Structure 1
Amino acid sequence: MDAIGQPLPVLHRVPGASRPWLWWLLAAHAAVALLWWQLGWKAGLALMVATHLACLWGVFWPRAAMYGPVLSHLPASDRRVWLTIDDGPSDDTPALLDLLDACGAKATFFLVGERAAARPELVREIAARGHGIGNHSHGHPQAWFWALGPARMRREIVQCQETLRAITGCPPRWFRAVVGHANPFVSAPLRDCGLARVAWDVRAFDAVRADPAGVVAHLESALSPGAIVLLHEGSPHGRNVEMIALLLQRMQALGYATVLPEELERSV
């Protein structure tokens, strides 16, 4: 139940077996053919372009649910937010764990399978400190994740899942798509692994911006109860720990605390 006694919605939504996007696409193409026949090629072509743009929106917009359910905000009514940290484990991980401990904060680390396999002791330490661990693909194919075919998509998700389960003894429940992208082939392996896809509603491009004050100011301006905050570790600019330290300081000043979705699920 939430703060006013209302039941909370289900947060962990694994994709189902149905493919609503496929039926939508078939209906759209039937409409294109009909319009082309009735009104001519200009009208038909315009509708065809529009339907394809809608499909691309489902690929590139992280909160789009065209290719399966996606969680982008928590149903918290008080000042609690979900910190999510992508791309580890990395050299930043030990410092981040100490920082979170010092601030009494919890986060979910969305880990890359190859990096986890290379540094399993860091993965185990994340779990031992009470933080969440999520699946962030096995090889982090940043440039091409959106265009992966069914075999490669399955391999990226399943191999990371198996790697993290072998290290911690517990399979992750959450999946963060690389760059937040999705396509029609993401849902089947998520369903088979029992994974729910997570996006975000607060970000400041901290993986590429080397300005901690500017990054945190942007994050602060977008904070709200239940926000899912996208953060990174191990970025080339080397300032992620500094950014997260400053963010936690500002959150404390504003009266914000952290929450993991499992804590909200237990209160349903």
Structure 2
Amino acid sequence: MLSHHQMISRRLLLSIAGVTVLSTGACGPPAGNPSDASHSGPPSDTLPSAAKPDGAPGAHPAPAASRTGSPAANTPGPPPGPAKPQPVTDPLLELDASERTIALTLDDGPHPTHTPVVLELLRSHGIRATFFLIGENAAEYPALVRAIAGEGHHIGNHTWTHPDLRHLPEPQVHDELERTSDLLQGLSGRPVTWFRAPGGDWADVTLRVCAELGMRPMGWSVDPRDWDRPGTAQITSRVLEGVRPGSIVLNHDGGGDRSQTVDALHTYLPALLADGYRFTTPQ
């Protein structure tokens, strides 16, 4: 049996222990209080940064700019997507008529006989022209393509085989244009930015593919029909009578015998220069 003194000591120890247990339980959340439920999980330092609220210890708050909807400074954005195709436009038929300028264009080359003569003539008059080249001709005479580019002339796409594009399915139209642009850019070192449909026969699919490949369509406003070989005098008179400020003149340096065209160029180029016209290449 415990003595009176031992019983008092035991009661005192139990009383002290009870206070300790109660004190420890007061540090936890009151039972049934949902507002403090977050404190029942792990400390905020152990949460993944994405789950931590802004300002919590160890959190990585988003840059202020990103919270306002603007890109954060020095924060790389998403990688750029593919270049958007140019909008489909109608063919360019004339230049700005407010200036006394005209554009000379030559189709169906390069030709081993006529193209070098035309280049020499243009060089002698200080004229820059636009050559719409056929892909299969360019593949056969790559040195002439480089010579045209080297003289500072513009090079345009005139398809690979010179077909009537109106009767071709879209994949074939795409092939005709893309193959030619790839070759011409490889030979000249410059992107091809202009396209001309053979015969000026435009179709919606042609204009769409032209835009998808980053080119613009160019037609003409003066056609002396030199491709039909009507004679040097006819070609010359048709050009001189048809030209006005802003005209785009169509001639051919390939596709057959173009000696009449070359002779006409010898006559009407100096006449137009003497009349105050300036030759340009559409940009």
Q: Give the TM-score normalised by the residue count of structure 1.
A: 0.70
Shift of 1:237: 5.3
Q: Does 1:165 align with 2:185?
A: yes
Contact 1:158 1:189 in 2 (8 A): no
For residues 130 and 106 of structure 1, what CA distance do their matches in structure 2 show? 7
Contact 1:208 1:237 in 2 (8 A): no
Deviations 1:150-194 (A, max 9, x none): 111111111111110111121210001100011121133212210
Please list every run of 5 or more consecutive structure 1 residues that lacks an aligned counterpart in the other structure.
Answer: 1-13, 18-67, 263-268
Of residues 92, 96, 101, the one that matches 1:71 is: 92
Q: SS where residue 165 of structure 1 aligns?
A: helix
- Residue 138 (structure 2) aligns with: 116
- AA matched with 2:195: F
Pairing of 1:119-138 with structure 2 (within 5 A): 119-138=141-160
- Residue 251 (structure 1) aligns with: 272
For residues 90 and 230 of structure 2, what CA distance do their matches in structure 1 show? 33
- AA matched with 1:256: Y
Larger radius of gyration: 2
- AA matched with 1:170: R
Shift of 1:202: 0.6
Give 4+ residue runs of structure 1 displaced > 6 Å after superposition: none
Contact 2:132 2:158 in 1 (8 A): yes
Q: Does 1:16 align with 2:37?
A: no
Contact 2:252 2:258 in 1 (8 A): no
- Residue 204 (structure 1) aligns with: 224
Larger RCO (alpha carbons 8 Å, 6+ apart):
1
- Residue 124 (structure 2) aligns with: 102
Pairing of 1:1-268 with structure 2 (within 5 A): 16=87, 68-90=89-111, 91-141=113-163, 144-234=164-254, 235-236=256-257, 238-262=259-283
Please list every run of 5 or more consecutive structure 2 residues that lacks an aligned counterpart in the other structure.
Answer: 1-84
For residues 204 and 125 of structure 1, what CA distance do their matches in structure 2 show? 26
Q: SS where residue 227 of structure 2 aligns?
A: coil
- AA matched with 2:199: V
For residues 260 and 95 of structure 1, what CA distance do their matches in structure 2 show? 20
Shift of 1:247: 1.8
* Number of residues of Structure 1 aligned to a counterpart in Structure 2: 197
- AA matched with 1:120: P
For residues 233 and 172 of structure 1, what CA distance do their matches in structure 2 show? 19
Q: Give the TM-score normalised by the residue count of structure 2.
A: 0.66
For residues 233 and 16 of structure 1, what CA distance do their matches in structure 2 show? 31
Contact 2:235 2:261 in 1 (8 A): no
Shift of 1:203: 0.9
Contact 1:15 1:69 in 2 (8 A): no
- AA matched with 2:245: P
Q: SS where residue 229 of structure 2 aligns?
A: coil
